[in-house]
Amino acid sequence: MGALSAVRLLVWKDLTLELRTKEILTAMAVFALLSAVIFNFAFSPSPAQAVTLLPGMLWVTLAFAATLGLSRSFVLERDQQCLEALRLFPTDRSLIYLGKAAANLLFLLLVEALILPAMAVISGIALLPHLLPLALVMLLGSIGLVAVGTIFSAMSVNTRIREVLLPVLLFPIASPVLISGVKATAGILAGRPLLEVLPGVRILAVFDVMFVVLGYVIFEFLLEE
């Protein structure tokens, strides 16, 4: 079996599971909406303030929603001994990482597609003119979050404190994603020339490549018994 079809199979497995249970997506989406609402309660920003607050609100919401989804990612695998079955999957074990990461990314992007318009409506900011660069930054940021998040999800699920450990592991390591993501988003929303946002995009891209490769290499060490 080729690597690509193996990954596709793994993503399809997670997708089928999700379509039947709808656990993860529902939880992520509702949680993301709730945090967007809570932010507006907390700051009740005027439209002028909203432009400066939105990047932070958006990325914190995304980071929390991603953590929620990622924490579930390996729980099912573990509880039903699916991980044992995955280990028997006749392919390179590192592909399991790519498969899980791709599925997690898909879930996160779906939630983003929902939360972005919701945030635009709640805050009253027209996001549509900035959609393309914004989508690029969010995509790069999501890949980064998921690339490290999948590693840490596989790790934390096997520990005594499980879900508690995931955000504690994820946030310091993913801080370049959050910092660059927030700053780039702020630049885009303020209508700055895209060249000014480029350094952030570059950091995001380097982070993505580095941690996808690292995850691919290192995942094998996490699956041992």
Partner 1 sequence: MAVTTQERAVAAKAGPDRPATLIWLGLGLIVIGQFMALLYAPEEVTMGNAQRIFYVHVPSAWVGYLAFAVVFGASIGYLFTRRRSFDLAAYASTEVGVVFTTLAIISGSVWGRYAWGTWWTWDPRLTTTFMLWLIYVVSLMVRAYGGAGSQAARFAAVLGVIGFLDIPLIHLSVVWWRSLHPLPVVIRPEGFGSGLHPAMLQALLVNVAAFTVLYVALFSVRRRQMAAADALAELKNEDHRRAGTQWTVGTQEVS
Which lies closer to partner 1 via its Cβ, residue 108 or residue 177?
177
At closest approach, how far in Å is the CB of 160 from partner 1? Answer: 5
Q: If you write DSSP's letter for every residue of 87-119 in order, what string do you get?
A: HHSSS-THHHHHHHHHHHHHHHHHHHHHHHHHH
Nearer to partner 1, 131 or 213 (CB): 213
Q: How far is the CB of 174 from partner 1 (least distance, A)?
A: 9
Cβ closer to partner 1: 51 or 179?
Answer: 179
Nearer to partner 1, 27 or 206 (CB): 206
Cβ density class 190-223: b for 16+ within 10 Å, e for less? eeeeeeebeebbebbeebbeebbeebbeebeebe
Least distance from C-beta 185 to partner 1, angstroms?
13
CB of 26 to partner 1, least distance (A): 29
Tell me the residue length of the chain.
225
Q: Residue 123 and residue 115: Cα distance in Å, rounded?
A: 12
Residue located via tokens 């809570």: 38
Nearer to partner 1, 85 or 168 (CB): 168
First to last CA, the chain: 25
Which is closer to partner 1, CB of 76 or CB of 210? 210
| Smallest distance from partner 1 to CB 210, Å | 7
Tokens of 92: 């390179």
What number of H helices and E strands is found in the chain? 10, 0
Interacting residue ranges for partner 1, rule: CB under 8 A: 148, 151, 155, 158-161, 165, 168-169, 172-173, 175-176, 179-180, 183, 199-200, 203, 206-207, 210-211, 214, 218, 221-222, 224
**Are the beta carbons of 47 and 125 closer than 8 angstroms?**
yes
Smallest distance, Å, CB 172 to partner 1? 4
**Residue 130 DSSP label:** G
